[in-house]
């Protein structure tokens, strides 16, 4: 079987993996601000690899598997490491306690989410469950805020609960809209463009601290959309 390793999409996927690996190192060093920006670079590469594959017609089975392997690091392991770091600091001032290990439910459920994506033919236009990049960005953004001293009253138990809730959303059977643009026309992309524009405006006004709220808004909008579609189909 002839395999092309170093196509443009694969190089972008490897860039995603590299940024994710560096983010793991930064998390171990306690630099959660750097983790955030590295994961944002990973997310950009993750978006661009699929876009490049569609644009250049360079789809491959290798690329599909490579993408999920990279995502496991950038969007599975990294948020678990960030959450572990925060819980360790909150509960015992740097010492590991039982609550700290709740953080690794994120990487476990991310593995299930990505494995299902690889065998599910119905997730080309939309996602089933919260996408791993969205989950990761939620936690690395809270990590950025924590490192900046913006979450002085955060409680270890509630933060651990948030990890369980977000991890569970990864595998719930709820349809969530994707940001896969087949074209840049308005028609067919109304929701994507509207959400991206509003998120960009919010980021310009409030910067990183608005990111977790944007992820929560994405989940809520997707859930409402899912229910409306179900009701529409039930009437037909």
pLDDT in tens, 192-213: 899 999 999 999 999 999 999 9
For residue 26, how many C-alpha atoms fall within 13 Å in the half-sphere facing its CB? Answer: 23
Contact 219, 177 (CB under 8 A): no
Q: Tens of pLDDT along the chain (236 residues)?
A: 677 888 999 999 999 999 999 999 999 999 999 999 999 999 999 999 988 888 888 888 888 899 999 999 999 999 999 999 999 888 655 566 777 899 999 999 999 999 998 888 776 678 889 999 999 999 999 999 999 999 888 888 889 999 999 999 999 988 898 887 666 777 878 888 999 999 999 999 999 999 999 999 999 999 998 888 777 777 66
What is the C-alpha to C-alpha distance for residues 145 and 151, in angstroms, rounded to an integer? 6
The pLDDT value recorded for residue 114 is: 94
Contact 41, 19 (CB under 8 A): yes
What is the C-alpha to C-alpha distance for residues 16 and 39, in angstroms, rounded to an integer? 8
The residues spanned by each domain of the chain are 8-177
Judged by DSSP in three states, 128 sits in: strand
Cα–Cα distances (Å) from 190 to 78, 95, 122, 142, 202, in that order, read 32, 48, 21, 29, 18
Two tokens, residue 50: 């699929």
Q: Which fold has domain 8-177?
A: 1.20.120
């Amino acid at each position: 079987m002839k395999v092309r390793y170093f196509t443009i999409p694969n190089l972008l996927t490897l860039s995603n993996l590299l940024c994710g690996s560096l983010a793991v190192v930064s998390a171990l060093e306690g630099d959660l601000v750097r983790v955030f920006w590295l994961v944002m670079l990973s997310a950009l590469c993750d978006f661009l690899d699929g876009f490049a594959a569609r644009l250049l017609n360079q789809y491959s089975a290798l690329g599909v598997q490579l993408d999920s392997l990279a995502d496991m690091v950038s969007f599975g392991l990294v948020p678990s490491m960030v959450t572990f770091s925060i819980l360790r600091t909150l509960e015992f001032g740097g010492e590991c306690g039982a609550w700290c290990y709740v953080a690794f439910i994120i990487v476990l459920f991310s593995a299930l989410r990505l494995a299902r994506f690889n065998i599910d033919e119905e997730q080309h236009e939309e996602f089933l469950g919260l996408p791993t990049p969205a989950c990761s960005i939620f936690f690395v953004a809270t990590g950025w805020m924590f490192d900046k001293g913006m979450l002085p009253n955060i409680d270890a138990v509630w933060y651990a609960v948030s990890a369980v809730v977000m991890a569970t959303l990864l595998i719930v059977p709820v349809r969530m809209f994707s940001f896969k643009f087949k074209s840049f026309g308005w028609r067919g992309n109304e929701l994507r463009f509207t959400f991206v524009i509003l998120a960009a405006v919010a980021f310009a006004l409030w910067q990183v601290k608005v990111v977790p709220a944007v992820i929560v808004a994405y989940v809520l909008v997707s859930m409402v959309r899912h229910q409306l579609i179900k009701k529409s189909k039930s009437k037909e």
